[in-house]
């Protein structure tokens, strides 16, 4: 385990906000992006939190992001909207999308807001969670920003790990928050295995002959495996059609690899669905039923060696509570990188502020 240093949430949020301001975002936009990046870290989505500042900065400096976007509704009906993100930071686009979805769901019961010309927005669950502040259910679909898997049986990487997130409010229990890539492992986990010099389990990746690939250093020679084989391929595909194709956003060959091209417009597509349980009946009664389901799962008899049965989002919930008490645990190597950027941007270092 790499050395970590605890940083208070507020300090990371303010650092990210200041960095985004110096990179050229409007102050109010920088505040939204900075807060959401820190919240990603708070909920334990460490692959989508502070670590993303450097690639975001690189893309901004390369001219790949519109720093003053006009995020606007281009299509609208009572229960839906389509946003043009104007190539702004994805956080701004999907933050607005979630707000609109909640407003429309209050009237219609259910509302769907899609976006095109958006960008990477951090973890899917960050947005699926937003309607929960209004006692609503949230669902989020996105086209990932690099293709890592082929069609089932194919060799051309035409699909990303297109994630699905669903957040369901509970009563006394933590909410159920599912946030999953449609692949067995996310690509970040492969990179982490390579860094630690470890082998991958069978089932994460296959090579071009369809054989298991377990050496993460050979990751370029193979593909991520979709969950459930052809089923995960189908899920990745329909998520891409809903979050990308429907919105006029990139899908299939149009998806560029944002780890290699920092300048071209990604035309990222995402979608959020808000469902208001109040439209279906009494909200406390609904939440009590969710509590019952949660307790049934947790209270189930366990397999030998299993210490605890977790609900989706429960470990993230505990990590959030711990981070609120003790601060966010950031790897010291990452802190050093962030402070190098801080010097370049002429803002106070994160570690000493």
- Min dist. Cβ of residue 71 to its own copies (A): 17
Measured from the CB atom, the residue of 23 and 139 that comes closer to its own copies is 139
- Min dist. Cβ of residue 97 to its own copies (A): 13
Tokens linked to 170: 């509970």
Strand-pairing partners, residue 226, are 183
Kindly compute the dihedral angle of the four CA atoms of residues 35, 40, 41, 47, in this order, to the nearest 10 degrees: -130
By CB under 8 A, the residues from 126 to 145 that bind its own copies are: 137
Measured from the CB atom, the residue of 57 and 83 that comes closer to its own copies is 83
- Min dist. Cβ of residue 46 to its own copies (A): 18
Tokens linked to 31: 């505040």
- The verdict on 55 binding its own copies (CB under 8 A) reads no
**With contact defined as beta carbons under 8 Å apart, do 23 and 345 qualify?**
yes
SS3 27: helix
- Min dist. Cβ of residue 176 to its own copies (A): 6
The full DSSP string for 242-281 is: HHTGGGT---GGG---TTT-SSS---EEEEEEEE-GGGTS
Instruction: Tell me 346's DSSP state.
Output: T
Residue span binding its own copies (CB under 8 A) among the ranges 5-13, 45-53, 208-216, 318-326: 208-216
- The verdict on 180 binding its own copies (CB under 8 A) reads yes
Starting at the edge strand found earlier in the chain, the sheet holding 80-84 runs 72-77, 80-84, 110-118, 268-275, 137-142, 164-168, 176-180
Q: How far apart are CA 226 and CA 188, in angstroms?
A: 15
- Min dist. Cβ of residue 58 to its own copies (A): 29
- The verdict on 191 binding its own copies (CB under 8 A) reads no
- The verdict on 73 binding its own copies (CB under 8 A) reads no
Q: Token pair 């009590």 is at which residue?
A: 288
- The verdict on 298 binding its own copies (CB under 8 A) reads yes
By CB under 8 A, the residues from 209 to 268 that bind its own copies are: 209-210, 227-235, 237-238, 240-242, 245-248, 251-253
By CB under 8 A, the residues from 2 to 41 that bind its own copies are: none
**With contact defined as beta carbons under 8 Å apart, do 23 and 89 qualify?**
no
- The verdict on 112 binding its own copies (CB under 8 A) reads yes
**With contact defined as beta carbons under 8 Å apart, do 44 and 122 qualify?**
no
By CB under 8 A, the residues from 307 to 336 that bind its own copies are: 308-312
By CB under 8 A, the residues from 78 to 97 that bind its own copies are: 78-80, 82
Residue span binding its own copies (CB under 8 A) among the ranges 23-31, 73-81, 331-339, 344-352: 73-81
- Min dist. Cβ of residue 233 to its own copies (A): 8
- The verdict on 345 binding its own copies (CB under 8 A) reads no
Measured from the CB atom, the residue of 197 and 299 that comes closer to its own copies is 299
Kindly compute the dihedral angle of the four CA atoms of residues 274, 175, 226, 114, in this order, to the nearest 10 degrees: 20
Tokens linked to 222: 């193979």
Measured from the CB atom, the residue of 75 and 332 that comes closer to its own copies is 75
Q: How far apart are CA 216 and CA 197, in angstroms?
A: 8
Tokens linked to 97: 């999308």
Measured from the CB atom, the residue of 63 and 280 that comes closer to its own copies is 280
**With contact defined as beta carbons under 8 Å apart, do 160 and 257 qualify?**
no
Using CB under 8 A, count the residues that bind its own copies: 83
């Amino acid at each position: 385990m790499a050395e970590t240093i605890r940083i208070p949430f507020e300090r990371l949020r303010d650092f990210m906000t200041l960095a985004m301001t110096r990179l050229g975002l409007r102050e109010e936009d920088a505040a939204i992006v900075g807060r959401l990046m820190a919240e990603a870290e708070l909920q334990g989505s460490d692959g989508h939190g502070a670590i993303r500042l450097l690639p975001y900065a690189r893309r901004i400096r390369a001219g790949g992001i519109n720093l003053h976007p006009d995020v606007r509704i281009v299509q609208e009906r009572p229960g839906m909207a389509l946003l043009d993100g104007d190539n702004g930071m994805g956080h701004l686009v999907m933050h607005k999308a979630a707000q609109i979805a909640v407003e429309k769901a209050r009237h219609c019961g259910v509302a769907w807001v899609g976006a095109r010309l958006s960008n990477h927005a951090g973890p899917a669950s960050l947005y699926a969670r937003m309607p929960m502040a209004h006692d609503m259910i949230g669902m989020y679909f996105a086209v990932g920003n690099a293709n890592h898997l082929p069609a089932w049986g194919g060799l051309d990487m035409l699909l990303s790990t297109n994630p699905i997130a669903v957040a369901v409010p509970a009563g006394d229990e933590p909410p159920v928050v599912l946030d999953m890539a449609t692949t067995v492992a996310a690509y970040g986990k492969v990179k982490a295995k390579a860094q630690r010099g470890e082998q991958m389990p069978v089932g994460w990746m296959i090579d071009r002959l369809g054989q298991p690939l377990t050496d993460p250093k050979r990751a370029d020679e193979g593909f991520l495996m979709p969950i459930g084989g052809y089923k995960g391929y189908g899920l990745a595909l329909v998520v891409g059609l809903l979050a990308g194709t429907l919105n006029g956003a990139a899908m299939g060959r149009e998806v560029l690899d944002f780890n290699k091209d920092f300048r071209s417009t990604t035309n990222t597509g995402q979608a959020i669905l808000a469902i208001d349980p109040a439209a279906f009946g009494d909200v406390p009664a609904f939440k009590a039923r969710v509590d019952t389901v949660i307790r049934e799962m947790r209270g189930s008899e366990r397999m030998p060696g299993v210490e605890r049965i977790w609900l989706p989002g429960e470990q993230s919930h505990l990590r959030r509570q711990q981070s609120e008490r003790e601060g966010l645990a950031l790897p010291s190597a990452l802190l050093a990188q962030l402070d190098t950027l801080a010097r370049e941007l002429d803002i106070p270092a994160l570690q000493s502020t």
